[in-house]
Chains A and B, each alone.
Chain A
Amino acid sequence: MSGIVAALTHLWNMPYTPLVVWALVKCVVILFAMLTVVSYLIYAERKVAGHMQARTGPNRVGPLGLFQPLADVGKLFFKEEFIPDGANKVVFHVAPILAVVPAIVTFSVIPFGAQSAMVATDVNVGLLVFFALSSLGVYSITLAGWSSNNKYALLGGLRSSAQMISYELAMGLSTLGVLLLAGSLSLVQIVRAQEHMWFVVPQLLGFLIFMTTAFAETNRAPFDLPEAESELVAGFHTEYSSMKFGMFFLGEFANVISICSIAIVLFLGGWNGPWLPESLKFLWFFAKLGILLFFFIWVRWTFPRFRYDQLMHLGWKIMLPLAIANIVATALWVYWRMQS
Chain B
Amino acid sequence: MTTFLFLAFAALLTGCSLMVVLQRNPVTSALWLVLGFCSLAGIYLLLQAEFLAMVQVIVYAGAIMVLFLFVIMYLNLKHDIEDGLHHHARRIVGWTLGALLVIEGVMLMRRGWALGPTALESPNGVWGNTAAIGRVLFSRYLFPFEVLSILLLVAMVGAILVSRGTRPEGSGR
Contact = CB atoms under 8 A, between A and B. Distances in A.
Interface of A: 11, 14, 16-17, 88, 90-91, 123-125, 128-129, 131-132, 135-136, 138-139, 142-143, 146, 154, 158, 161-162, 165, 184-185
Q: Specify the main secondary structure of chain A where it touches its partner.
A: helix
Given A14-B1, A16-B1, A91-B31, A124 B50 contact: yes
Contacts of A88: 25, 27
B66 A132 contact: no
A132 B57 contact: yes
B63 A165 contact: yes
Given A128-B54, A142-B69, A135 B61 contact: yes
A135 B34 CA distance: 12
Interface of B: 1, 25, 27-28, 31, 34, 50-51, 54-55, 57-58, 61-63, 66, 69-70, 73-74, 129-131
Contacts of A135: 57-58, 61-63, 66
A128 B27 CA distance: 27
Contacts of A162: 70
B61 A136 contact: yes
A123 B50 contact: yes
26 contacts: A17-B1, A90-B28, A125-B51, A128-B54, A128-B55, A128-B58, A132-B54, A132-B57, A132-B58, A135-B57, A135-B61, A135-B62, A135-B66, A136-B62, A138-B62, A138-B66, A139-B34, A142-B66, A143-B31, A146-B27, A146-B69, A146-B73, A154-B73, A158-B70, A161-B70, A162-B70
B73 A142 contact: yes
Contacts of B28: 90-91
A102 B28 CA distance: 20
Given A16-B1, A125-B54, A139-B66, 17 more contacts: A11-B1, A14-B1, A91-B27, A123-B50, A124-B50, A125-B50, A125-B130, A128-B51, A132-B57, A132-B61, A135-B61, A136-B61, A139-B34, A142-B66, A142-B69, A154-B73, A185-B130
B149 to A, nearest CB: 12
A131 B170 CA distance: 44
B66 A165 contact: yes
A15 to B, nearest CB: 8
A135 B69 CA distance: 14
B31 to A, nearest CB: 7
Nearest to A94: B31
B107 to A, nearest CB: 35
Contacts of A90: 28
Q: Lowest 7 CB-CB distances: which A-B pairs, in order?
A: A135-B62, A128-B54, A132-B57, A132-B58, A125-B50, A132-B54, A125-B54
Contacts of B70: 142, 158, 161-162
B25 to A, nearest CB: 8
Nearest to B73: A146
Nearest to B62: A135
Contacts of B31: 91, 143
Contacts of B73: 142, 146, 154, 158
Given A135-B62, A165-B63, A124 B54 contact: no
Contacts of B61: 132, 135-136
A14 B74 CA distance: 50
